[in-house]
Amino acid sequence: MLTNKEKKQIRSLQIKKYRKQYGEYLIEGARLISSALEVEDTPLKQIYVTKAFLSNLSHQEFIEALRKKEMPFCVVSEADLLSITDTVQPSGIAGVCSFSHKNDIKPDDRNNWLYLFEIQDPGNLGTLLRTAVWFDVKHIALSPNSIDPFNAKVVRAGMGAHFHTSIFEPLELSVLKKTHTIFGGVSNGASISSIETIEEPWILAIGSEAHGLSPEIINRLDFSVSIPKIGGGESLNAAIAGSILLYELTGQNP
Amino acid sequence: MLTNKEKKQIRSLQIKKYRKQYGEYLIEGARLISSALEVEDTPLKQIYVTKAFLSNLSHQEFIEALRKKEMPFCVVSEADLLSITDTVQPSGIAGVCSFSHKNDIKPDDRNNWLYLFEIQDPGNLGTLLRTAVWFDVKHIALSPNSIDPFNAKVVRAGMGAHFHTSIFEPLELSVLKKTHTIFGGVSNGASISSIETIEEPWILAIGSEAHGLSPEIINRLDFSVSIPKIGGGESLNAAIAGSILLYELTGQNP
């Protein structure tokens, strides 16, 4: 069982300040926990699980995997689990993961990057992380004034992407060295499919839902790119635009 | 001012049953209202606006446009507006739109279609509508057991797409005639970029977030297509996958 002090500490991970202070965040549900366990050098530190979850026959394989990994788990009451999580649909299992904040970028960095400028919507950020991992872009930088990437809703939408990316935040685009070609999604750029040669390493910059990229960032771009509109509407959703640009940049259409 | 009966009726539009009964749904915020007003034969029937909104200098151009269109508007108190809407961020303006449910499809239909199977997440559905409009795919069908497309969150995420699409629901895929080439997004299909000739008219079928397409639908597909994974993760988000497939099918990459 959990003491009140423990509950309070875990619950505090719903607040950004305490996530930073403890270097930890909470994940919920068997699916995310499984994903975290599959990672070599797993970020999972501790699992909280209800009796009902443990005795559910459909979870036996999963529990066997937990035991094999020697992951410490603590059996808690339904009420305690609810009290420490932000959950919408109680799943009977949650875990605490550690993260390390990254701010050092090697001067000879050759990785492709996704640079996100003032993204505010947790679903958009989580989805962009998920797409980036799918296309093997594992270096993500967030500008100042972005939503916290370890916010519970972002983690939920990320569907495990957090375990496979290095998230640098907050980071100014200028910190990423000039060895990279910088693409930026804008409303009036060249069609992304018209760019003939994509030189790596690159950075793809995607702007906020409401205001796009800032003038300062647009000034730094090597290529201002767009997804041509053949129908109507003011814009594409930021996560959609970013994902289509990632799809193109990672050479799905040679 | 609004009577209690009026308030009750408008508020009831937050519930699917009453939206169907009245053939109406609610939209909120100046941006959506503007989009609705720009539509020829606008779906807007009535606008509710606060005094604060009307007296805000930055809204004068917008209000001028309202007057020109001779759109009836009713000045309501802040409290009344809050009581009739589902809003997260009060914007001072809301409107009632009418929709007509469409279920008749011409046997010689030559439109391209987006067919959505049991999509549950309002953000995903709204975003898919928004992307479809961007790529000029204006015929959308939803399977039984999909989220209601006139749900407030769907409308919000759609960013005006509802005014430019014909939404048919509920509709079984089999109702769409065999004159169409049917593409379906699956986890283990051919790479979408490997399909050399895309014959119109087509239907793109996208499956639910949790379970994808049903075996019955997969049986009907002419092409099972995927977005190749070059990194990690179990899947792409349904709205992302659908949007990238729409991008490809609408010939952005000839």
pLDDT in tens, A113-144: 999 999 999 999 999 999 999 999 999 999 99
Point out the residue among B135, B161, B234 whose CB comes nearest to the CB of A230: B135
At B102, the pLDDT band (50, 70, 90 cuts) reads low
pLDDT at A1 over 80: no
ipTM field? 0.94
For residue A252, the number of C-alpha atoms closer than 13 Å in the C-beta half-sphere is 29
Model pLDDT, residue B18: 96
- pLDDT above 70 covers what percent of chain A? 97
Model pLDDT, residue A252: 52
Provide the whole-model pTM: 0.94
Point out the residue among B134, B228, B239 whose CB comes nearest to the CB of A252: B228
Cα–Cα distance measured from residue A175 to residue B53, given in angstroms and rounded to the nearest whole number: 42
Cα–Cα distance measured from residue A160 to residue A97, given in angstroms and rounded to the nearest whole number: 12
Point out the residue among A35, A135, A240 whose CB comes nearest to the CB of B230: A135
Cα–Cα distance measured from residue B11 to residue B28, given in angstroms and rounded to the nearest whole number: 13
pLDDT at A102 over 90: no
pLDDT at A65 over 50: yes
Residues in A touching B233 (Cβ below 8 Å): 130, 133-134, 159-161, 164
Q: What is the pLDDT of residues A146-204, one digit of tens each?
A: 999 999 999 999 999 999 999 999 999 988 877 899 999 999 999 998 998 899 999 99
With CA atoms as reference, the chain A residue closest to B121 would be A123
Task: List the domains of chain A with CATH numbers.
Answer: 4-98 (3.30.1330.30), 113-249 (3.40.1280.10)
Residues in B touching A237 (Cβ below 8 Å): 127, 130-131, 157, 159, 239
Residues in A touching B35 (Cβ below 8 Å): 234
With CA atoms as reference, the chain B residue closest to A162 would be B233
- Nearest partner of A129 among B75, B44, B240, B189, judged by Cα: B240
Q: Which residue has the higher pLDDT, B254 or A39?
A: A39
- 């539509």: which residue's tokens? B39
Q: What is the pLDDT of residues B141-185, one digit of tens each?
A: 999 999 999 999 999 999 999 999 999 999 999 888 778 999 999
At B74, the pLDDT band (50, 70, 90 cuts) reads very high
Q: Residue A245 is encoded by which pair of tokens?
A: 């640009």
Model pLDDT, residue B66: 85
Cα–Cα distance measured from residue A111 to residue B70, given in angstroms and rounded to the nearest whole number: 56
- 């959703």: which residue's tokens? A237
Cβ within 8 Å, pair B231-A130: no
* Mean pLDDT for the stretch of residues B114-137: 98
Model pLDDT, residue B103: 65
Residue A176, H or E segment: none
Residues in B touching A236 (Cβ below 8 Å): 130-131, 134, 243
pLDDT at B87 over 90: no
Q: What is the pLDDT of residues B179-202, one digit of tens each?
A: 899 999 999 999 998 998 899 999
Smallest CA–CA distance, residue A3 to chain B, in Å, is 35
At B254, the pLDDT band (50, 70, 90 cuts) reads very low
Smallest CA–CA distance, residue A141 to chain B, in Å, is 18
Residues in A touching B232 (Cβ below 8 Å): 133-134, 136, 164
At A99, the pLDDT band (50, 70, 90 cuts) reads confident
Angle between helices B238-249 and B122-134 (to 10 degrees): 10
Q: How many residues does chain A have?
A: 254
Residues in A touching B236 (Cβ below 8 Å): 130-131, 134, 243
Residues in B touching A132 (Cβ below 8 Å): 231
Dihedral, CA of residue A197, residue A234, residue A122 and residue B33, to nearest 10: 180
Point out the residue among A127, A137, A231 whose CB comes nearest to the CB of B240: A127
pLDDT at A145 over 90: yes
- E-assigned strand segments in chain A: 24-28, 44-50, 73-76, 93-98, 113-116, 139-142, 166-168, 181-191, 202-206, 223-226
Dihedral, CA of residue B75, residue B78, residue B82 and residue B87, to nearest 10: 90
Tell me what the pLDDT averaged over chain B comes to.
92
Interface test with A, best of B112, B128, B135 (most A CBs within 10 A): B135
